[in-house]
Amino acid sequence: MNVDDLVAIDMHAHAEISAAGHRSLPAELLAASASYFKLGDADRTPTVPAIAAYYRERRMAAVVFTVDAETATGHTPISSEEVAEACAAEADVLIPFGSVDPWRGRAAVRRARALVERYGVRGFKFHPGLQAFHPNDPMVYPLYEALQELDVIALFHTGQTGIGAGLPGGGGVRLKYSNPLAIDDVAADFPGLRIVMAHPSFPWQDEALAVATHKPLVHIDLSGWSPKYFSPQLVRYANTLLKDRVLFGSDFPVLTPDRWLADFEKLDMKPDVRPLILKDNAVRLLRLGGDHA
């Protein structure tokens, strides 16, 4: 991957269908999310090669992952191994992250190690709401210990971004699990772990900003919300104290880079901060230095 040729790095893109046509989540959750983001007839489930073509056309790279929430949802996820192998075939534009079910205990730790050592994933996506766990639950600590030892990134969904919205009972997704303040414990107990809090953390934006300003390896990706809806305090911190730790993320395919970037262009951001958010901070976090990853 020649980072000099890229105009941006999207830290948050979902692989939602396997090569064999298996969906990443139960159909009702995918449909509710599509409705929430008003996708209409847009392609909700592009394959990994289609994702690569999309980003290549735009001279962008993307971090791609699925979510393993089988214990909580009863739905067999897309294999992280398949996602990683598919991304490896598109390594000029795609960067694989893995996902393991935190309820699997030692099996999750073994699988995480294999995904890093054999499949080259650079981080792991956690979705506490879908996976139904508190990020600071001690049961997950052996997994974080392994990720810290492997020197890979832990990316946590935070706040409310539409998953389950409008379904009876919110599709069973409980928002309490996605409070970013729980991640403060993880950052304190694993000070060497690189962490990304995904999304503007509605309704806990101030909590997320407090954690990120206090813990130096905690970052924020801006996915899942159009920039025109960002809170004033998020914009203020992105422009100042957190300018080196805020990251472009779209939430593809439910929110596309095209829409996100068009709205970001209208945001009151300092000229020297824009390239940090769009690419430079991700290059440093992902350790993509040099001409090739």
pLDDT value of residue 210: 98
pLDDT value of residue 26: 72
The share of the chain scoring above pLDDT 70, in percent, equals 95
Q: What angle do CA 64, 257, 266 make, to 5 degrees?
A: 145
- Per-residue model confidence as pLDDT tens digits over 80-127: 999 999 999 999 999 999 999 999 999 999 999 999 999 999 999 999
**Is the omega angle on the peptide bond into residue 253 within 30 degrees of 0, that is, cis?**
yes
Look at residue 293 and tell me whether its pLDDT is greater than 60. Answer: no
What's the whole-number mean pLDDT along residues 52-71?
97
Q: E strand or H helix at 253, and its extent?
A: none
Residue 88 Cα distances to 97, 117, 209, 269, angstroms: 11, 14, 34, 34
Dist CA 77 CA 152 (whole Å):
22
What's the whole-number mean pLDDT along residues 142-149?
98
**Cβ atoms within 10 Å of 178's Cβ, excluding its own:** 28
Residue 124, beta-bridge partner list: 98, 154
Domains, in order of start, for the chain: 3-286 (3.20.20.140)
pLDDT value of residue 43: 63
Q: What is the pTM of this model?
A: 0.94
pLDDT value of residue 161: 80
Look at residue 237 and tell me whether its pLDDT is greater than 60. Answer: yes
Q: How confident is the model at residue 249 (pLDDT cuts 50, 70, 90)?
A: very high
pLDDT value of residue 14: 94
pLDDT value of residue 40: 60
- Per-residue model confidence as pLDDT tens digits over 167-201: 899 888 899 999 999 999 999 999 999 999 999 99
Sequence-ordered strand ranges (E) for the chain: 8-14, 60-65, 94-96, 123-126, 153-157, 194-198, 218-221, 246-247
Mean pLDDT of the chain: 93
